[in-house]
């Protein structure tokens, strides 16, 4: 009889351990890798690389020579950080767009306060495949100028778009600037009126010129209107279109649909159901609207980066305040070819998390970058999220420091163990998270709840005092979001 009970007890123990172990699944509610240091860091641009990895640019106040520097971070195909570089001088530099070049180096566009003639100048940096600077150039006059987007041209040179206060006719004018393969300016053009006008994205139209998106306060029907311009290879305007209503409407991204026209994303305050909605517009090759859609709830929702997926659908990345856990959450929307929503996903924590750029991968998935504040209560970090074709995060959540150290969810073994009265439990969090710690006996009954509150990113230790418990085996269960793990401890009286 004793042998039967002993065998039965062993079976129950194995089943309990097996059941608890199946809870330890990777997180899918956040899925964020947070890259940064002790100060603020932001991801602005991302591109996939020919070796299957990723390159991200942005700005960092944690590292570098100035108060803010361009930050260039290279990841492997497994989302492991391979290297990072800071670019800039003693003042402020910002990276806003990055692309791998034909020689497998990188081109970065942004803004510089350390170099050039004005308070801010448009900034262009070419690096090799390890992020070492090959050359850097600044463009502008005595006022403020910046670049928001860069693409390599068929002749090996570069086209960048941004804004200028040094040239043109208004407060700010849209700036389009062409260089050779060494960054030497070949020409620049300005577009705008008496008010402020901005350029956000440029794409190369093979053999015919460029398509540019932004917004204008000089033309159109509202305070600000989404703006689309087509220009020839010398930057001369072929046509321009404005889209919007009586309020503010902003354009951030344009993509070329081969043989069909263009897909444009932005943010509208004239249409939709909330304080601001994501806006998607499809046009023909002349910029005339074929259809438009808005997405969002009762609060503010915004989304600029959009890509055309290989299956004919569209992916929008941005942020939402209508359906968020914190101040704002990252929002990903997939639509069909007519702009009808197929699915939407949100990612974030109790802070402010936003997506600024996204790329499609060869397997049909996506990777986005942006910035987030859910990892702590003070500073923003650069975000990297890898998603499958259904928008589910497949990257485990972690926080990467400049040394490459990754902070992940972890519950250490209880210490001491075995124990006769009290033991200590140490756990690590990559981001501010709610932690539930509970104790179960050998029969799976809850015998103690140790905590159920939010903790900041980092390591924490709490005590487990077994005052009224009998000797035996107990299981410590930790749950944070969708991450769950269990540790075994033994109480000896």
- Show the domain range for 185: 33-399
**At 79, is the pLDDT very low, low, confident or very high (cuts 50, 70, 90)?**
confident
The total number of structural domains that make up the chain: 2
C-alpha–C-alpha distance, residues 334 and 307, integer Å: 10
**At 407, is the pLDDT very low, low, confident or very high (cuts 50, 70, 90)?**
low
pLDDT in tens, 319-352: 888 877 778 888 899 999 999 999 888 888 778 8
**At 406, is the pLDDT very low, low, confident or very high (cuts 50, 70, 90)?**
low
Q: Examine the pLDDT at 209 and tell me if it is beyond 50.
A: yes
**At 377, is the pLDDT very low, low, confident or very high (cuts 50, 70, 90)?**
low
Cβ(333)–Cβ(341) under 8 Å? yes
Give the percent of the chain with pLDDT over 70.
88
Q: Indicate if 192 and 118 belong to the same structural domain.
A: yes
Q: Is residue 27 a part of any domain in this protein?
A: no
- Taking every pair of C-alpha atoms in the chain, what is the biggest distance, in angstroms? 96
User: Per residue, what are the HEC states of 166-214?
Assistant: CCCCCCCEEEEEEECCCCCEEEEEEECCCCCEEEEEEEEECCCEEEEEE
Least confident of 24-28, 91-95, 135-139, 293-297: 24-28
pLDDT in tens, 408-422: 789 999 999 999 989
Q: Is residue 393 a part of any domain in this protein?
A: yes
Per-residue confidence (pLDDT) for residue 418, from 0 to 100: 95
Q: Indicate if 147 and 285 belong to the same structural domain.
A: yes
C-alpha–C-alpha distance, residues 435 and 432, integer Å: 9
Instruction: Name the pTM for this structure.
Output: 0.76
Q: Is the dihedral of CA 129, 135, 140, 143 positive or negative?
A: positive
Q: Indicate if 349 and 382 belong to the same structural domain.
A: yes
Q: Examine the pLDDT at 175 and tell me if it is beyond 80.
A: yes
The residue-averaged pLDDT of 473-479 equals 95
DSSP 386-439: EE-TTS-B-SPPEEE-TT--EE--EEPPPBSSSBSSEEEEEEEESSSEEEEEEE
102 CB-contact burial (10 Å; exposed 0-12 / middle 13-18 / buried 19+): exposed
**At 173, is the pLDDT very low, low, confident or very high (cuts 50, 70, 90)?**
very high
Under DSSP, the state recorded for 3 is H
Q: Examine the pLDDT at 4 and tell me if it is beyond 60.
A: no
Q: Indicate if 227 and 284 belong to the same structural domain.
A: yes
C-alpha–C-alpha distance, residues 383 and 437, integer Å: 28
The residue-averaged pLDDT of 190-207 equals 94
Q: Indicate if 422 and 393 belong to the same structural domain.
A: no
Per-residue confidence (pLDDT) for residue 2, from 0 to 100: 34
Residues with Cβ within 8 Å of 416's Cβ and at least 6 positions away in sequence, in order, are 423
**At 353, is the pLDDT very low, low, confident or very high (cuts 50, 70, 90)?**
confident
Q: Indicate if 436 and 323 belong to the same structural domain.
A: no
C-alpha–C-alpha distance, residues 277 and 301, integer Å: 5
CATH of the domain at 478: 2.60.40.2550
CATH of the domain at 119: 2.130.10.10
Q: Is the dihedral of CA 340, 345, 351, 353 positive or negative?
A: negative
Q: Indicate if 114 and 228 belong to the same structural domain.
A: yes
C-alpha–C-alpha distance, residues 466 and 448, integer Å: 9
**At 483, is the pLDDT very low, low, confident or very high (cuts 50, 70, 90)?**
confident
C-alpha–C-alpha distance, residues 470 and 477, integer Å: 19
Q: Is residue 262 a part of any domain in this protein?
A: yes
Q: Indicate if 393 and 352 belong to the same structural domain.
A: yes
Q: Examine the pLDDT at 92 and tell me if it is beyond 50.
A: yes
Q: Is residue 152 a part of any domain in this protein?
A: yes
Per-residue confidence (pLDDT) for residue 404, from 0 to 100: 47
Last residue of a domain, one of 370, 399, 428: 399
Kind of pairing between the strands at 81-87 and 93-100: unpaired
Q: Is residue 16 a part of any domain in this protein?
A: no
Q: Indicate if 85 and 187 belong to the same structural domain.
A: yes
Give the percent of the chain with pLDDT over 90.
58
pLDDT in tens, 116-143: 887 899 999 999 999 999 999 999 999 9
- Measured between alpha carbons, how far is residue 235 from residues 174, 177, 205 in Å? 12, 8, 12
Q: Indicate if 220 and 313 belong to the same structural domain.
A: yes
**At 309, is the pLDDT very low, low, confident or very high (cuts 50, 70, 90)?**
low
Per-residue confidence (pLDDT) for residue 72, from 0 to 100: 95
Cβ(230)–Cβ(213) under 8 Å? no
Cβ(48)–Cβ(56) under 8 Å? no
Q: Is residue 19 a part of any domain in this protein?
A: no
pLDDT in tens, 255-266: 999 888 999 999
Q: Indicate if 325 and 433 belong to the same structural domain.
A: no
Mean pLDDT score across all residues of the chain = 86
Beta bridge partners of 266: 251, 279
Q: Is residue 28 a part of any domain in this protein?
A: no
74 CB-contact burial (10 Å; exposed 0-12 / middle 13-18 / buried 19+): buried
**Helix, strand, coil shares, percent, the chain, to 5:** 5, 55, 40
Q: Is residue 7 a part of any domain in this protein?
A: no
C-alpha–C-alpha distance, residues 278 and 325, integer Å: 19
Q: Indicate if 80 and 168 belong to the same structural domain.
A: yes
Last residue of a domain, one of 374, 399, 424: 399
Last residue of a domain, one of 344, 369, 399: 399
**At 9, is the pLDDT very low, low, confident or very high (cuts 50, 70, 90)?**
very low
């Amino acid at each position: 009889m004793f042998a039967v009970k002993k065998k039965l007890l062993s079976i129950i123990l194995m089943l309990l351990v097996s059941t608890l172990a199946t809870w330890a699944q990777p997180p899918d509610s956040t899925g964020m890798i947070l890259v940064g240091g002790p100060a603020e860091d932001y991801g602005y641009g991302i591109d996939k690389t020919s070796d299957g990895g990723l390159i991200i640019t942005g700005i960092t106040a944690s590292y570098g020579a100035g108060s803010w520097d361009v930050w260039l971070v290279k990841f492997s195909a497994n989302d492991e950080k391979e290297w990072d570089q800071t670019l800039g001088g003693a003042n402020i530099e910002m990276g806003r767009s990055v692309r791998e070049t034909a020689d497998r180096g990188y081109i970065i566009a942004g803004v510089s306060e350390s170099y050039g003639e004005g308070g801010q100048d448009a900034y262009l940096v070419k690096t090799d495949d390890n992020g070492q600077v090959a050359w850097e150039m600044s463009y502008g006059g005595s006022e403020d100028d910046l670049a928001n987007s860069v693409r390599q041209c068929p002749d090996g040179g570069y086209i960048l778009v941004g804004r200028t206060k040094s040239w043109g006719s208004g407060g700010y004018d849209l700036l389009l600037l062409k260089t050779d393969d060494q960054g030497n300016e070949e020409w620049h053009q300005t577009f705008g009126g008496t008010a402020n006008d901005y350029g956000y994205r440029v794409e190369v139209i093979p053999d015919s010129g460029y398509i540019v998106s932004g917004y204008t306060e000089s033309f159109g029907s509202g305070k600000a209107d989404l703006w689309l311009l087509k220009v020839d290879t010398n930057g001369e305007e072929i046509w321009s279109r404005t889209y919007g209503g009586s309020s503010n409407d902003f354009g951030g991204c344009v993509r070329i649909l081969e043989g069909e026209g263009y897909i444009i994303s932005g943010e509208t305050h004239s249409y939709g159901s909330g304080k601001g909605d994501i806006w998607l517009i499809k046009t023909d090759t002349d910029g005339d609207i074929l259809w438009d859609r808005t997405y969002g709830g009762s609060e503010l929702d915004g989304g600029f980066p959009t890509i055309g997926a290989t299956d004919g659908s569209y992916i929008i990345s941005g942020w939402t305040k209508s359906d968020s856990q914190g101040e704002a959450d990252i929002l990903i929307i997939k639509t069909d070819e007519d702009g009808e929503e197929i699915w939407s996903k949100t990612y974030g924590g109790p802070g402010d998390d936003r997506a600024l750029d996204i790329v499609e991968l060869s397997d049909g998935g996506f990777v986005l970058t942006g910035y987030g504040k859910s990892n702590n209560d003070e500073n923003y970090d650069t975000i990297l999220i890898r998603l499958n074709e259904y928008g589910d995060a497949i990257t485990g959540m972690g926080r990467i420091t400049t040394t490459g150290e990754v902070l992940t969810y972890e519950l250490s073994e209880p210490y001491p163990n075995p124990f006769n009265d009290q033991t200590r439990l140490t756990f690590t969090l990559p981001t501010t998270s709610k932690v539930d710690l509970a104790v179960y006996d050998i029969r799976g009954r809850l015998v103690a709840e140790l905590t159920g509150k939010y903790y900041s990113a980092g390591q924490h230790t709490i005590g487990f005092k077994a005052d009224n418990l009998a000797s035996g085996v107990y299981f410590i269960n930790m749950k944070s979001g969708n991450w769950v793990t269990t540790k075994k401890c033994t109480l000896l009286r």
